[in-house]
Amino acid sequence: MNLATGLPLLFLSVLLQAGVLTHLRLLGGQPDLVLLIVVSWSLLGRNPEGIVWAFAGGLLLDLFSGAPLGVSSVGLVLAAYVAGVGKGQVGLNNVVLPPVMILVGTAIYHSVTLALLVTLGMYPPLWMDSLTYVTLPSGILNFVLVWPIFRSLGFLYARLRSRRSTQ
Amino acid sequence: MRRLGNRTVTLAALLAASLTVLVLSRGGATRPLETVAFAPLQPIQRLVNNVSTGFITRSEQRQEIEELKARVRELEQTVAAYQVDLVRLREIERDYDRLSELLDYSTQAQDQQLLVADVIGRDTSGFLRFIVINRGARDGVRVGQPVISDRGLVGRVGDVTATAAWVRLAIDQDSAINARMQNTRTEGTVVGQLAGGMRMQFIPQEAVIEEGDLVLTSGLGGNFPADIVIGQVASVRAQEAELFQEAEIRPTVDFDRLELVSVITAFEPVDPTLFEETIEEELEQTP
C-alpha cells in the first residue's frame, strides 16, 4: 500500500474509530478498526508494510486518545508482526486465518496497551476485569468485522497490484 | 530467511521508535508536534462526531417516543403531588431568607467561571474514558479543571494542547471524586467502573443510604467545586464483615451523548483550613 492510499485510509479509519465506533460498544469493548486494517494488510500486503502502517496508525490513534503518543503503536506493531507470519498462506477466500489472526492480534494489542497504561500509572492493574469487560467484547466485534474488511482490502490490494503491473 | 530478517529488523526499529516517542510524549516533549498535527484534524473530527452523535440520537429518539408518552402520564401524576410539597417548601424558603437576614448570614457565592466547549471526539482506546473538546490552553483551559454539563459532573481536564483538551470522564477507571449524599451528608469516594457506571466507596457502615439518593461533589480536596450533581444511588452493597459499604451510582450525565460541556476555569475551592481552625479552637477551649 503506497503512501497516497495508505495514509488517507488510516486517517479515515482513525476518524471513524474516534467518532463513530465509540458508539458501538459491547460492554466495555468497541471495534478496533485500525487493528483490523493493519492485521488484514499484514496478511495481504508486501513485507514489512503491515508493520510500518501499524506504527503510523498507532501514532494517529494516540492523537485522539488521552494516552501518551506511542502507546497504541507498540501493541499494533507487535500484532502486525505476528499476523505477518501468515503472509503468503492466505487467499481472499480464506475463512480461517483472518479471524484467527484478528483474535490473536486483539489479545496482543489489548494486553500490551493495558500493560503500558498500568506501567505509566494511567490505569489500575485490574487485569482480569479489563480483559473480560474490554478485550473479550472487542475481540468478538473484531471477529465479526474482520471478514468484510479483509475482503475489501483484498480487492484494494488486487487493484493496486494490477495497476503497478500495467505501469 | 532474509525476509524474516527484514521483518524482525523493522519490528525492532519501530518498537524502539514507539517507545522513544512514548518516553518523549510522557515528558511533554512532543506537545508542540501534537498541537500542530491535531489542529487540522479538529474540524473534520468535529464533523464526523456531530454526524454520528446526531444519527444515533435521532434513531434512539424514535424508539423512546412511545416509552416517553407513558412516562409523561406517570410524571404528570407525580408533579401534582410535588406541587403540594413545593408550596410548603416555598414557605420554608421565605422563613429561611428572613432568618438569614436577621443573623446576617450569607451563603458564599462560588464565583465560577465557565467556558463552553464542543465535544469533538472520544477516546480511541477501549480502556480509557476520555472525550476531546475544542478548547485548549489558548482559551484558558488547564489540566485539572472540572468539566460539567447541564446534567451534572462530566470529569476533569487530563491533557491540553493549544486548541484542544482531553477530559477524563468521571466513569474512567482512574477517576476518583470526593462525594457526599445530598440527604444524609454522608461522604465517600466515587470511582469509575469498567462497565461504564460509577461506584461510591468508603461509606461508613452506620450511614443510611437509600436507592434514589442524590450524590454530589463534596468539594473536599479542592479539585471540584462542592454540590455538583454526580448521580443517584442505584443499589447499595453493605456487608457486616466489611468496614465500609458501597453504592452503585447511576450517573445523571449520559456520557455517550455528550455534545456540549462547560469547563470551570475558575472557582472558589472548599477551604479545609477552616475546619482545622475550628478544631484547634475547640481544643484550646477544652480545659
Determine the pLDDT at residue B155: 94
CB contact under 8 A, B195 and A59: no
Q: Would you give per-residue pLDDT tens digits along chain A (167 residues)? A: 677 778 888 888 888 888 788 777 777 888 999 999 999 988 887 777 889 999 999 999 998 888 889 999 999 999 999 988 867 666 777 778 889 999 999 999 999 999 999 999 888 888 888 888 889 999 999 999 999 999 898 888 888 777 766 66
Which residue of chain A has the CA closest to B158? A66
Burial code (b: 16+ CB inside 10 Å, e: under 16) for A51-87 equals: bbbbbbbbbbbbbbbbbbbbbbbbbbbbbbbbbbebb
DSSP character at residue A133: I
Got the DSSP string for chain B? -HHHHHHHHHHHHHHHHHHHHHHHHHTTTTHHHHHHHHTTHHHHHHHHHHHHHHHHHHHHHHHHHHHHHHHHHHHHHHHHHHHHHHHHHHHHHHHHHHHHHHHT--PPP---EEEEEEEEEE-SSSS--EEEES--GGGT--TT-EEEETTEEEEEEEEE-SS-EEEEETTSTT-EEEEEETTT--EEEEEE-TTS-EEEEEEETT----TT-EEEE--TTSSS-TT-EEEEEEEEE--TTSSEEEEEEEESS-GGG--EEEEEEE-----THHHHHHHHHHHHH--
Is residue B109 over pLDDT 50?
no
Determine the pLDDT at residue B16: 94
Query: Which of B257, B132, B50, B265 is CA-nearest to residue A67?
Result: B132
Instruction: Determine whether B110 is exposed, middle or buried from the number of CB atoms within 10 Å of its CB (0-12, 13-18, 19+).
Output: middle
Which comes out higher in pLDDT, residue B261 or B70?
A: B261
Determine the pLDDT at residue B167: 94
Burial code (b: 16+ CB inside 10 Å, e: under 16) for B130-168 equals: bbbbbbbbebebeeebbbbbeebbbbbbbbbbbbbbbbb
Instruction: Determine whether B204 is exposed, middle or buried from the number of CB atoms within 10 Å of its CB (0-12, 13-18, 19+).
Output: exposed
How much of chain B, in percent, has pLDDT values that exceed 70? 88
Determine the pLDDT at residue A99: 92
Determine the pLDDT at residue B68: 85
- Top residue of B2, B3, B11, B18 to mutate, by most chain A CBs within 10 Å, is B18
Q: What ipTM did this prediction achieve?
A: 0.84
The CATH number of A3-160, from 1.10.10.10, 3.40.1010.10, 1.10.1760.20, 2.40.30.270, is: 1.10.1760.20
Summarised one tens digit per residue, pLDDT across range B189-223 is: 999 988 778 999 999 888 888 888 899 998 888 88
Determine the pLDDT at residue B222: 82
Summarised one tens digit per residue, pLDDT across range B126-138 is: 888 999 999 999 9
Summarised one tens digit per residue, pLDDT across range B25-48 is: 888 888 888 888 888 888 888 888
- Top residue of A10, A12, A22, A27 to mutate, by most chain B CBs within 10 Å, is A22
End-to-end CA distance of chain A: 16
Measured from the Cβ of residue A35, the count of other Cβ atoms closer than 10 Å reads 30
Residue B108: pLDDT band (50, 70, 90) is very low
Cell numbers representing residue B95 in the block = 422563613
Which A residues, 12 through 51, put their C-beta within 8 Å of a C-beta on chain B? 14-20, 22-23, 25, 27-30, 32, 34, 47-48, 51
Domain ranges in chain B are 176-255
Burial code (b: 16+ CB inside 10 Å, e: under 16) for A134-164 equals: bbbbbbbbbbebbeebbeebbebbeeeeeee
CB contact under 8 A, B130 and A65: yes
Residue B141: pLDDT band (50, 70, 90) is very high
Of B10, B45, B127, the CB nearest to A117: B127
Is residue B279 over pLDDT 70?
no
**Phi, psi dihedral angles at B71 (to 5 degrees):** -65, -35
Is residue B22 over pLDDT 60?
yes
CB contact under 8 A, B124 and A18: yes
CB contact under 8 A, A47 and B256: no
How far apart CA B264 and CA B156 sit, in angstroms, is 9
Determine the pLDDT at residue B1: 46
Determine the pLDDT at residue A59: 92
Which residue of chain B has the CA closest to A62? B124
How far apart CA B115 and CA B235 sit, in angstroms, is 34
Query: Which of B23, B155, B159, B40 is CA-nearest to residue A60?
Result: B40
Q: Which CATH architecture has domain B176-255?
A: Beta Barrel (2.40)
Instruction: Quote the minimal CA–CA distance from B163 to chain A in Å.
Output: 13
